[in-house]
């Protein structure tokens, strides 16, 4: 039988699942109720704990989720050792580092840049596109022109390490992406702040040694990332061509809208992708991170090897994602 105390506890947990945790602590912690694991939270693809830390610094000061995901995404963008994002990213097959990024806020507004060269922080340019232009996406030369007008400085993003890797690759010029194994670290990052505002960002240098002009899923709203303040958000990493054909992140959010939990929504989406592209998925990785507006999270990938960083309830941790294939 449900006791009154237990019932009250359950209803309060439900009622406060998506509300201000500081209010929770002031009011109920002393009364013996455990604090619900809720807001704020930030999740990112791969072991991007430095990024979730930067985002948490914003969130724990009651900052906006949008500022948190931008701050998080800027960490790997500036890291020369991260060969999949921003400065230090592996170039295309002609030796140019070309960057893709997108961002969404709690109002469903979106900004994106792709095929952007010589700018270290494409995520911040994407945010400017969202906030300062009537458009959603700027590409290549136009994106660079806009970035310069907004005060971003042009710099060489090709490090010696990335150049050496490219020189080696040229000896055989074999294009065969092996996603996990190559340690792809594209960051998709999602946050929910203490005021229940959701946001997402995704930034990458794309597949190493791709054809010049190739754009992947990461800057495409709904493919590399999607956020809807009514439901939740999803971000991903993996073979962009599969995600472009399936608009994977949009699908994850729509599954949640139909009632699935974040974990279930990620699983349903991976199952659907693999059913549609069984041959391609044998050798390709795709992994999702997902949150909903109640502060729950999920993650799922095609193959083992995908992991993610979650900062919630004061702890910044890395978890292995479950996968369809074992
Ligand atoms: C792309 N989705 O450009 C990106 C690659 C990726 O970690 O996720 N790398 O296809």
73: left (phi over 0), alpha (psi -120 to 50) or beta: alpha
- Establish if 271 belongs to a structural domain: yes
Distance 175 CA to ligand 1 centre (A): 14
The residues near 43 (Cβ < 8 Å, ≥ 6 apart) are: 52, 189, 190, 191, 289, 290, 291, 297, 299, 308, 309, 310, 311, 312
Q: Please state, in angstroms and rounded to a whole number, the distance separating the CA atoms of residues 294 and 306.
A: 24
Distance from the alpha carbon of residue 161 to the mean position of ligand 1, in angstroms: 19
258 lies in some domain: yes
Atom of ligand 1 nearest to the CA of 215: 3
Residue 233 lies in a domain: yes
- The residue whose CA has the least distance to atom 8 of ligand 1 is 237
Which residue range forms the structural domain that includes residue 293?
41-323
119 in a domain, yes or no?
yes
Whole-number Å distance, alpha carbon 84 to ligand 1 midpoint, is 8
5 assigned to some structural domain: no
As a three-state string, the secondary structure of 177-238 is CCCCCCCCCCEEEEEECCCCCEEEEEEECCCCCCCCCCCCCCCCECCCEEEECCCEEEEEEE
- Of 240, 241, 288, 305, best ligand 1 pocket probe by most atoms within 8 Å of the beta carbon: 240
Q: First vs last Cα of the chain: how many Å apart?
A: 41
| Total domains in the fold of the chain | 1
The closest-lying atom of ligand 1 relative to the alpha carbon of residue 214 is 3
pLDDT for position 17: 42
Residue of 184, 202, 215 best suited for mutating to test ligand 1, as the one with most atoms within 8 Å of CB: 184
| Residue 8 included in any domain | no
Find all residues with CB under 8 Å of 166, minimum gap 6, and list them. Answer: 90, 91, 95, 209
Q: Ligand 1: residues whose CB is within 6 Å? A: 84, 184-186, 204, 206-207, 216-218, 237-240
Is residue 7, in this structure, part of any structural domain at all? no
Q: How far is the CA of 52 from the centre of ligand 1 (A)?
A: 19
Q: Catalytic residues, which ones?
A: 186
Q: Is the pTM of this model over 0.85?
A: yes
CA 296, CA 309: separation in Å to the nearest integer? 14
Q: CA-CA distance, 108 to 47, in Å (whole number)?
A: 27
The pLDDT value given to residue 173: 82
Work out whether strand 110-116 and strand 99-104 pair parallel, antiparallel, or are unpaired: antiparallel
Atom of ligand 1 nearest to the CA of 186: 7
User: Cis peptide before 40, with omega less than 30 degrees from 0?
Assistant: yes
**The pLDDT value given to residue 34:** 53
In tens digits, what is the pLDDT along the chain, a chain of 326 residues? 333 333 333 333 334 444 444 444 455 444 545 555 689 999 999 999 999 999 999 999 999 999 999 999 999 999 999 999 999 999 999 999 999 999 999 999 999 999 999 999 999 999 999 999 999 999 999 999 999 999 999 999 999 999 999 999 999 887 766 555 555 689 999 999 999 999 999 999 999 999 999 999 999 999 999 999 999 999 999 999 999 999 999 999 999 999 999 999 999 999 999 999 999 999 899 999 999 999 999 999 999 999 999 999 999 999 999 999 99
Distance from the alpha carbon of residue 218 to the mean position of ligand 1, in angstroms: 7
| Ligand 1 atom with least separation from CA of 238 | 8
Q: What is the pLDDT of residue 185?
A: 80
pLDDT of residue 317: 98
User: Is there a domain that residue 198 lies in?
Assistant: yes
CATH for 251:
3.60.20.30
């Amino acid at each position: 039988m449900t006791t009154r105390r237990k019932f009250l506890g359950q209803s309060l947990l439900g009622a406060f699942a998506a509300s201000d945790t500081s209010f929770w602590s002031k009011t109920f912690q002393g009364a013996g109720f455990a604090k619900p694991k809720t807001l704020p939270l930030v999740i990112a693809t791969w072991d991007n704990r430095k990024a979730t830390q930067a985002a948490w610094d914003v969130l724990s000061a009651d900052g906006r989720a949008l500022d948190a995901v931008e701050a998080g995404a800027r960490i790997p963008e500036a890291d020369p050792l991260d060969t999949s994002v921003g400065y230090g990213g592996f170039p295309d097959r002609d030796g140019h580092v070309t960057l893709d990024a997108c961002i969404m806020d709690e109002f469903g507004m979106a900004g994106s840049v792709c095929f952007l060269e010589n700018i270290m922080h494409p995520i911040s340019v994407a945010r400017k596109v969202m906030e300062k232009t009537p458009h959603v996406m700027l590409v290549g030369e136009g994106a660079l022109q806009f970035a310069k007008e907004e005060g971003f400085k042009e710099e060489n993003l090709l490090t010696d390490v990335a150049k050496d890797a490219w020189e080696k690759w040229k000896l055989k010029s074999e294009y065969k992406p092996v996603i996990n194994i190559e340690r792809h670290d594209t960051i998709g990052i999602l946050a929910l702040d203490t005021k229940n505002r959701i946001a997402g960002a995704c930034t990458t240098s794309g597949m190493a040694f791709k054809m010049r002009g190739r754009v992947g899923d990461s800057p495409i709203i709904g493919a590399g990332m999607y956020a809807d303040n009514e439901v939740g958000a999803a971000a991903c990493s993996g073979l962009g061509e599969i995600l472009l054909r399936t608009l994977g992140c949009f699908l994850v959010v729509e599954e949640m809208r139909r009632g699935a939990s974040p974990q279930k929504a990620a699983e349903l989406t991976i199952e659907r992708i693999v059913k549609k592209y069984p041959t391609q998925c044998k050798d390709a990785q795709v992994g999702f991170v997902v949150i909903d507006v109640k502060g729950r999270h999920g993650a799922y990938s095609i193959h083992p090897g995908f992991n993610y960083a979650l900062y919630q309830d004061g702890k910044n941790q890395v978890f292995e994602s479950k996968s369809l294939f074992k």
